Structure 1
Amino acid sequence: MEKIIKLLAKSQYTFTNFARISIFIVMAWIGGLKAFQYEADGIVPFVINSPAMRFFYHNTEKRVLDKNGELIPEYQLFKNPEGRVVKKNIAWHQENGTYIFSYILGFVIVSIGLMIFLGIWYPKIGVLGALFTVLMSLVTLSFLITTPEAFVPKLDGDFPSPNYGFPYLSAAGRLVLKDVIMLAAALIIAAESASRLIKKSDIK
């Protein structure tokens, strides 16, 4: 057991770099997928309900009546199920600016991931990448507050589930909550990069 503890203690820098590589893989993969229609469509509920991001879209204020006569946000009528392409939905998303925003967002995410990765050799770039990751994670976690789709909805019917609303996370909510881990990893990486910068430049 003592040998294992000593090995773990000596491996701290190696594991920090593994965290960097892990974040890079996640950001490069997810950021790259933002160039594809299904992924761009999938982030609409998060962006359109976020006070910090909704201005990127054009159809944020539109409300329509659903089949039950209830007034709902227009985007809810134009969701594309993953794996399907519905032309009328695509047209709405084009008008909304969904795809242009997704391309830009994907580029930003991949760039931040690359900065994290380069932090292995360049601590100053690593600090910036880590801080951007912290900011991105905080924005993502705010979706738990602003996005109705983050929790299981209350449905009508013969057998409605008694488990809806807070704290019953939907698939979207569970995906968002995982950014707590990304936030923690980014803070550890930022601290390690800053420590190397201090040693390198003799900052007191």
Structure 2
Amino acid sequence: MNNTQQARFAVAEHNSGSLSIVAPLRWSLVVIFLWFGGMKFSNYEANAIAPFVANSPIMGWMQTLFGIQGTSDVIGVLELSTAVALIAGAFVPVLSAVGAAMSIATYVITLTFFASTPGVFEATAGGFPAISALPGQFLLKDLVLLAASITLLLASRTASSK
């Protein structure tokens, strides 16, 4: 690959072109945001997230304003926008930082569901710190996704300052 091709395919992190050490984090987040964001437009997904949103002091107002499907649609637009920013961020460092910041906001909010969603802590296993399979373990994975988002933001910030 010549220098022109490398420059065209270089990711915002500028570590090793498209094989940047953080590229797998970026593209994994892109897949998650595209898939989950697209699903938000289905009745199935809208009803699945409704209890999380309804019990959230941060997001509960949305169901009053938009209804269950409307709220899911708004979240879907935000998630797809995050995916687009992350994709564009592979080529433009500032968009990488924007996408990573949007991703961080998503996972910070979903991790607050630990405190607001009934059934997170499993009473039959002694309560806290034992967590249920659903919704507890489902939410816990967002801790890793938050770490990936923070890592991508830090890498993007470094690239932006070069």
TM-score of Structure 1 vs Structure 2, range by shorter chain: 0.7 to 0.9
Equivalent residues of 1:35, 1:106 under 8 A apart:
yes
Question: Partner of 1:112 in structure 2?
Answer: 82
2:145 alignment counterpart = 182
TM-score, length of structure 1 as denominator length: 0.66
**Structure 1, residues 103-134: CA drift from partner, whole Å, max 9, x if none?**
11111111102211221111101101111111
Alpha-carbon separation, structure 2, partners of 1:144 and 1:36: 24
Q: Which residue in the other structure is 1:77 paired with? A: none
In 1, are the aligned partners of 2:47 and 2:68 still within 8 Å (CA)?
yes
Q: Secondary structure at the match of 1:15?
A: coil
User: Take 2:138 and 2:80, find their aligned partners in 1: how far apart are those partners?
Assistant: 19
Q: Distance in 2 between matches of 1:166 and 1:31?
A: 31
What is the CA–CA distance in structure 2 between the aligned matches of 1:117 and 1:50, rounded to whole Å? 29
Question: CA 1:180/1:144 → structure 2, altered by over 3 Å: closer, same or farther?
Answer: same
**By how many angstroms is 1:27 displaced?**
0.7
CA RMSD after TM alignment? 2.0
Structure 2 gap ranges (5+): 1-14
Matches within 5 A, 1:92-131: 97-131=67-101
- Structure 1 unaligned spans of 5+: 1-9, 60-95, 155-161, 200-204
Counterpart of 1:188, as a letter, is T
CA distance in 1 between partners of 2:46 and 2:21 (Å)? 33
Tell me whether 1:14 sits opposite 2:20 in the alignment: yes
- Give the aligned partner of residue 146 of structure 1: 116
Following superposition, the deviation at residue 100 of structure 1 comes to 0.8
1:11–1:149 Cα change, 3 Å: farther
Counterpart-to-counterpart distance in 2, 1:118 and 1:164: 46
Taking a change above 3 Å as real, the CA distance of residues 57 and 190 of structure 1, as seen in their structure-2 partners, is: same
For the Cα contact (< 8 Å) 2:53–2:60, is it kept in 1?
yes
TM-fit CA distance, 1:172: 1.5
Q: TM-score, normalised by structure 2?
A: 0.83
Structure 1 residue 165: Cα displacement: 3.0
| Contact 1:50–1:147 (CA under 8 A) maintained in structure 2 | yes
Match of 2:160 in 1: 197
CA distance in 2: counterparts of 1:163 and 1:11, whole angstroms:
47
Distance in 2 (alpha carbons) for counterparts of 1:45 and 1:149: 11
Residue identity matched to 1:195: T
- % identical aligned pairs: 31
**Counterpart amino acid of 2:29?**
I
- Are 1:49 and 2:55 an aligned pair? yes
Within 1, Cα distance between the matches of 2:95 and 2:16? 22
Residue 15 of structure 1 deviates from its aligned partner by 2.5
